[in-house]
Amino acid sequence: MENKAFHHALKIQKEQCIGCSHCMNICPTEAIRVRNGKAELFENRCIDCGECFRVCPVNAIIIEQDDFNKIFQYKHRIALLPAVFSGQFPEEVKTSQIYDVLIDLGFTNVYEVEHGVDLLKESMQKFAENNKESKPLISSFCPAVIRLIQVKFPAMVENIISLHPPLDIAALYYKKKIMDKGVDESDIGIFYVTPCAAKIAAIKSPVGNENSPINGVINMDFIFNKVYTNIRRGNFQAGQNVEKEQLSPEGVLWSLTNGEIDNMEGRCLAIDGVHNVIDFLEKIENEEIKDVDFLELRACDESCAGGVLTTKNRFLTVERLKKRASQYKKNKKGNPQKQILNYYPFLKENICIGKVHPRSMMKLDENMAEAMKKMRRVKEIMKCLPGVDCGACGAPNCQALAEDIVQERAVINHCIFIQKIFEKKGILEWEQSYEIMKEIWGDDKLNRKC
């Protein structure tokens, strides 16, 4: 069993938090509670999907990134861009201008991560042929989905295709390519411009591997603002000697919804939005849906175009990328991925990831007998709770409160309905109920003037 802790890119700034419970109620894995008027994160449940980041009304939840100046620790500084980055810009902005500004900002090389798609596509098809009994096979593209399966659907980790996503393939290729020119590995810094928090977490603590080939991450909203400001002002040196390779049309569309399924055989379905993914996986687990060969699962609506760190409307991003792919199909300029395919033997040898281990958030105890006892106690507590899922206890629902109680993270009179019953029976004084609610929601909410 994998024991190392998850790295989390999402951080709660307690001094900013107002304890509104928006984040608690939206979290797909019930990873947030409210205590003393502030949100608290259960790290073993968090999958870094960023839903809490989207709904926080006071920006109390942030997504970490590496200091941009970290790139200057390296002689060779490579910016790895997802295709959705170019989709953030208006159509009149050329990719060559984006590359020029990134070079002006300090990078020595720029490379789009989806150049590894042709190689990956072939490997996925072969993997499917060799694993026909493991249905449905699940894409390894979205790290939030991988962690979701680990913590909420642990029995399905065996269904994940154990291949690196395009990001890792591109990083492995570019590092190897530069090292083959005689450059020492310590002089190479590879930095990914990320559209989401989950990919930061996946780079800092990769699942299925000890280390990532990527040295740092830069949030897309941060670098987009820098690049677009310079382009609008014309504040960049045009026509710099930047190595450019054209993506294949499949590469341009890979990170969008339906980007993978057209390359797989059989009954293939694409599901986006983390709550939709959960609903679908529950139906698969309960055998309500059968005979699916391949699932492309993405945590964000419209996949990476809807990442929490993107700055522009996701539908417009999709439109721009589809136009770009269509243009590339029309042009048909030779083989756009010739250089990376020269490294086919090396990449094929390193394309597999290690075993993905389950990390069930539902596990109540390491000891099976003790876990069964706690499960029975949860069921008993649930008979006492009202089942209205009001959230006044500081947990998202009654089931979560019952689990917190058996884990000694809460007590039953955190439930406001139980408090009233206890008050009526004389078990609890109203002053005690007040103190309990203050412990959950803090002084501010209970001392307001009406």
Let me know whether 134 and 202 are in one domain: yes
Let me know whether 37 and 102 are in one domain: no
Order of strands, sheet of 137-138, starting from the edge strand that comes earlier in the sequence: 137-138, 294-298, 268-272
* Domain limits for position 37: 10-63
Largest CA distance in the chain: 83
Alpha helices in 234-288 (DSSP H): 249-253, 274-285
Residue 385 lies in a domain: yes
Q: How many CA atoms lie within 13 A of 340 on its CB side?
A: 29
pLDDT (mean) for 318-347: 82
pLDDT digits (tens, 9 = 90+) for 298-319: 999 999 999 999 999 999 999 9
DSSP letter at 295?
A: E
pLDDT (mean) for 343-359: 92
Q: What angle do CA 131, 135, 136 make, to 5 degrees?
A: 120
- Which of 9-13, 271-275, 357-361, 422-426 has the least mean pLDDT? 357-361
CA distances from 119 to 170, 177, 263, 350 (A): 11, 16, 12, 12
Let me know whether 311 and 414 are in one domain: no
CA distances from 211 to 9, 49, 98 (A): 17, 21, 30
* Predicted model pTM: 0.92
Final residue before a domain boundary, out of 349, 382, 413 = 349
| Distance (Å, whole) CA 230 – CA 104 | 10
Residue 264 lies in a domain: yes
Kindly indicate the confidence band of residue 231, based on its pLDDT and cuts at 50, 70 and 90. very high
Residue 145 lies in a domain: yes
Let me know whether 159 and 299 are in one domain: yes
Q: Are 272 and 256 in contact (CB under 8 A)?
A: no
| Distance (Å, whole) CA 93 – CA 209 | 38
Q: Are 293 and 137 in contact (CB under 8 A)?
A: yes
Let me know whether 208 and 244 are in one domain: yes
Instruction: Give the per-residue pLDDT at 333.
Output: 53
Final residue before a domain boundary, out of 349, 379, 409 = 349
Please determine, for residue 58, whether its predicted confidence score (pLDDT) is greater than 80.
yes
Helix axes 117-130, 166-179, angle to 10 degrees: 120
Instruction: Give the per-residue pLDDT at 334.
Output: 46
CATH for 45: 3.30.70.20
| Distance (Å, whole) CA 241 – CA 335 | 21
Instruction: Give the per-residue pLDDT at 222.
Output: 96
Please determine, for residue 447, whether its predicted confidence score (pLDDT) is greater than 90.
no
Residue 355 lies in a domain: no
Let me know whether 284 and 341 are in one domain: yes
Let me know whether 113 and 234 are in one domain: yes
Helix (H, G, I), strand (E, B) or coil at 281: helix
Higher pLDDT pick, 259 / 239: 259
Let me know whether 74 and 58 are in one domain: no
The residue behind tokens 């990442």 is: 307
Helix (H, G, I), strand (E, B) or coil at 31: coil
DSSP letter at 59?
A: -
Residue 362 lies in a domain: no
Helix (H, G, I), strand (E, B) or coil at 71: helix
Structural domains in the chain (count) = 3
Q: What are phi and psi of 97, to 5 degrees?
A: -70, -40
Instruction: Give the per-residue pLDDT at 29.
Output: 96
Q: Pairing state of beta strands 38-41 and 32-35?
A: antiparallel
Amino acid at 241: N
Element (H, E) at 233: helix 220-233
Let me know whether 120 and 221 are in one domain: yes
Q: What are phi and psi of 287, to 5 degrees?
A: 60, 30
pLDDT digits (tens, 9 = 90+) for 14-24: 999 999 999 99
One DSSP character per residue, 350-409 reads T-B--PPPP--TT---SSHHHHHHHHHHHHHHHHHS------TTSSSSHHHHHHHHHTTS
Please determine, for residue 332, whether its predicted confidence score (pLDDT) is greater than 70.
no
pLDDT (mean) for 245-271: 93
Q: What are phi and psi of 190, to 5 degrees?
A: -110, 125
Average pLDDT, the chain: 92
Q: Are 122 and 351 in contact (CB under 8 A)?
A: no
Residue 23 lies in a domain: yes
pLDDT digits (tens, 9 = 90+) for 78-121: 999 999 999 999 999 999 999 999 999 999 999 999 998 988 99
Q: Are 84 and 307 in contact (CB under 8 A)?
A: yes
DSSP letter at 82?
A: -
Residue 102 lies in a domain: yes
pLDDT (mean) for 353-358: 90
Please determine, for residue 347, whether its predicted confidence score (pLDDT) is greater than 70.
yes
**3-7, 368-372, 405-409 — which one is most confidently predicted on average?**
405-409
| Distance (Å, whole) CA 166 – CA 157 | 20
Amino acid at 157: V
Final residue before a domain boundary, out of 317, 349, 381 = 349
User: Is the four-CA dihedral 43, 46, 49, 50 of positive or negative sign?
Assistant: negative
Instruction: Give the per-residue pLDDT at 330.
Output: 79
Instruction: Give the per-residue pLDDT at 449.
Output: 67
Residue 357 lies in a domain: no
Let me know whether 237 and 319 are in one domain: yes
Element (H, E) at 128: helix 117-130
Let me know whether 151 and 73 are in one domain: yes
Q: Are 171 and 193 in contact (CB under 8 A)?
A: no
Let me know whether 242 and 317 are in one domain: yes
Amino acid at 239: G
Kindly indicate the confidence band of residue 450, based on its pLDDT and cuts at 50, 70 and 90. low
| Distance (Å, whole) CA 269 – CA 292 | 8
